Amino acid sequence: MPAFIIIVVIVLALLISCIRIVPQAHAYVVERLGAYMATWPVGLHFKVPIIDRVAKNVNLKEMVLDFPPQPVITKDNVTMQIDTVVYYQITDPRLYCYGVENPLMAIENLTATTLRNVIGELELDQTLTSRETINTQMRAALDVATDPWGIKINRVELKNIIPPAAIKEAMEKQMKAERERREAILKAEGEKKSTILIAEGKKESAILDAEAEKQAAILRAEAKKEATIREAEGQAEAILKVQQANADGLKMLKEAQADESVLTLKSLEAFGRAADGKSTKVIIPSDIAGVAGLATSIKEVLSDNKE
């Protein structure tokens, strides 16, 4: 009885060991009697005890290979160190298992030789400025070479380019000179723009000053004209009032029926005003004697009245 139980336990353990569960993004390469039998995808699988075995567990995820810097020589005989990063993915587990002995080492060596071939056709300046072109060429070449191994090269990136110390120093001096040149150009352009702006500002200021002077002159002329007009109007109004006063005086004399003596007296008053020293010419009427006699008569009459 104990022997039967032991046999049952052994059989159950053997059956359990024959059960295989393939996880996601993996594949099992199964061999039967040493020969390739099948590739198990994700899921539950059973194998025949002793006869079948899982030869390799293949990871189907995209993986990264970071290789150490490789010495390469450019077309103009400059030696530099370049390290690359390769992104690859296994597409055929069977070819991956049986296509090459050591796939990772094969990819590393193939990457180094392909990199030397690509860089050997470029000069130093092209190497430093054509990373995208180099990446594309290497990816295409590696993808074709690794296809029989069941590997697909998704991307190839140049992680770092390390030129020699002398070349690096020369490049730094060149970059410094270029930055100084750009700085001088920017400074000159700034001074030029500043000078132009100052000149334009002075020009606009002169135009505004001239415009203001013109407006001021126009305003002064209009004010002077207005003052002249008002002065003329005032003089005309004064003359009009004097003439009106004279007319009113004559009218009053006429209404008072003044005789010839009164009129002669008015003439004398006008003669006196004419001879007040302000006039350079005095016009003496021809009948001055009659006027003088009339004046004497008026004086006598005024004397009698005082007595």
pLDDT, tens only, 254-263: 666 655 555 5
Residue 231 vs residue 297, higher pLDDT: 231
Q: Region 232-239: what's the mean pLDDT?
A: 82
Contacts by residues 161-164 (CB-CB < 8 Å, ≥ 24 positions apart): 161/80, 161/81, 161/82, 161/127, 161/128, 161/131, 162/69, 162/80, 162/81, 162/82, 163/78, 163/80, 163/124, 163/128, 164/78, 164/79, 164/80
Report if residue 213 sits inside a domain: no
42: in domain: yes
Tens of pLDDT, residue by residue over 153-189, are: 999 999 888 888 887 787 778 888 888 888 889 989 9
pLDDT at 164: 81
53 shares its domain with 71: no
Q: Is the pLDDT of residue 276 over 70?
A: no
For the chain, what is the domain count?
3
The structure tokens listed for 52 are 């079948």
Residue-wise pLDDT tens digits, 6-53: 877 777 777 787 888 899 999 999 999 889 999 999 999 988 888 888
Residue 205 inside a domain? The answer is no
Distances from the Cα of 298 to the Cαs of 216, 264, 292, 295, 303, in angstroms? 64, 11, 10, 5, 9
Asked if the structure places residue 185 within a domain, the reply is: no
pLDDT at 151 over 60: yes
Q: What is the pLDDT of residue 58?
A: 92
Q: Which of 19-23, 56-60, 274-278 has the least mean pLDDT?
A: 274-278
Domain of 101 in residue numbering reads as: 63-163
**Do residues 35 and 71 both lie within one domain?**
no
Bigger pLDDT: 122 vs 294: 122
In terms of pTM, does the model score above 0.85? no
Q: Is the pLDDT assigned to residue 295 strictly greater than 90?
A: no
pLDDT, mean of residues 100-125: 89
Residues 6+ apart with CB under 8 A from 292: none
Q: Which two tokens stand for residue 191?
A: 């001074």
68 and 157 belong to one structural domain: yes
Q: What is the pLDDT of residue 305?
A: 46
Q: How remote is the C-alpha of 18 from its chain's centroid? A: 71
Give residue 267's pLDDT.
56
Question: Is residue 304 included in any domain, yes or no?
Answer: yes
Mean pLDDT of the chain: 81
Residues 21 and 106 in one domain: no
**76 and 157: one domain?**
yes
Cα–Cα distance measured from residue 226 to residue 223, given in angstroms and rounded to the nearest whole number: 5
- Which string of b and e fits 200-233 if b means at least 16 CB within 10 Å? eeeeeeeeeeeeeeeeeeeeeeeeeeeeeeeeee
Verify that 8 and 36 share a domain, yes or no.
yes
Q: What percent of the chain has pLDDT over 90?
A: 24
Verify that 111 and 141 share a domain, yes or no.
yes
Q: Are residues 76 and 133 in the same domain?
A: yes
Strands 63-66 and 79-90: antiparallel
Contact 61, 89 (CB under 8 A): yes
Mean pLDDT of 245-274: 60
Q: What is the pLDDT of residue 23?
A: 92
